[in-house]
Amino acid sequence: MTRPRSASLPQPTFLPTATLTVVGHRGTCRYAPENTLPAFDYALAAGAHMLELDVQLSADGVPVVIHDGTVDRTTNGTGRVRALALEALQQLDAGAWFVDDAEQRPFKGTRIPTLAEVFRRYPDVPLTVELKTESRAIAEGVAQVVRQTGRRGRLVVASDSADLLQRFRAMEPTVCTSLARAEVARLYALHLLGLHRSHAPPGALLQIPPSYKGISLTTPRFIRAAHACGLHVEVWTVNDPDAMARLVARGVDGIISDLPADALAC
């Protein structure tokens, strides 16, 4: 398990240390419409320790929970999220498209939630909030919701963009963050050179795919290097039980999955 790198860097002390952290990917994409309250409720009922969700900004600057830059795939509407005001977004049906195994539509009428709504509904549930746009305004919007709700604990903010994370860290230095893509790349290069032990990562979590452009990011050596830097290592998005078991054997701290119940069985 991980060790704190710096007393001044926020640490995910709210996550399990003796067992695998199971994170519901967008709640659970397999059994409910992703990034909706039913999906989050289902993941928690299945035993997930943490929820992962994605955030975009509405036209009027409200952080809303949706993965894509458009509403086309996951609602009955069309258009860019950033071009639609919150009122218009919440008139869309984000659940009718999802058909369950019985070919029914039990989620019809489900709405796109706001980030503030998720914070209020799950005050004690650890959350990973991923910033899905390159606009600096999203870092400011999420920081504003954090301030308004007081939700600084049990929270991880993630992004591919180092610029966005650096901006968010400056605004909310007591909130945990993961490493951006460039920050992961730097750590990977340092571990190859054997120089990682003197490295102080700017975040507390390493949330990575199993591989990137043909390079394995989940070798035992890299996982050990991340742990030596005090990082909590989570891998996404893993749905195959055999792959989950291999990652656990390599020493990862968490699995981000559409199937949290399967990850709990590892």
Segment 212-246, tens digit of pLDDT: 999 999 999 999 999 999 999 999 999 999 999 99
Residue 43 covered by a domain: yes
Residue 198 covered by a domain: yes
8: pLDDT confidence band, cut at 50, 70 and 90? confident
Residue 13 covered by a domain: no
**pLDDT at site 134:** 82
The whole-number average pLDDT for the span 188-213 is 97
pLDDT, the chain, mean: 95
CA distance 250 to 198: 23
pLDDT at 22 over 80: yes
Residue 179 covered by a domain: yes
- The domain of 212 spans 21-264
Q: Domain with 153 in it: what CATH number? A: 3.20.20.190
CB 217 within 8 A of CB 209: yes
Joined together, the tokens standing for residue 151 give 């939700």
Residue 3 covered by a domain: no
CA distance 78 to 95: 15
4: pLDDT confidence band, cut at 50, 70 and 90? very low
Active site positions, annotated: 25, 67
Residue 186 covered by a domain: yes
Residue 6 covered by a domain: no
Q: Which of 3-12, 97-106, 125-134, 249-258 has the lowest mean pLDDT?
A: 3-12
pLDDT at 6 over 80: no
CA distance 110 to 66: 13
99: pLDDT confidence band, cut at 50, 70 and 90? confident
Domain count, the chain: 1
Single-letter amino acid, residue 247: L
The whole-number average pLDDT for the span 109-115 is 97
- Report the predicted TM-score, pTM, of the whole model to 2 decimal places: 0.95
Residue 93 covered by a domain: yes
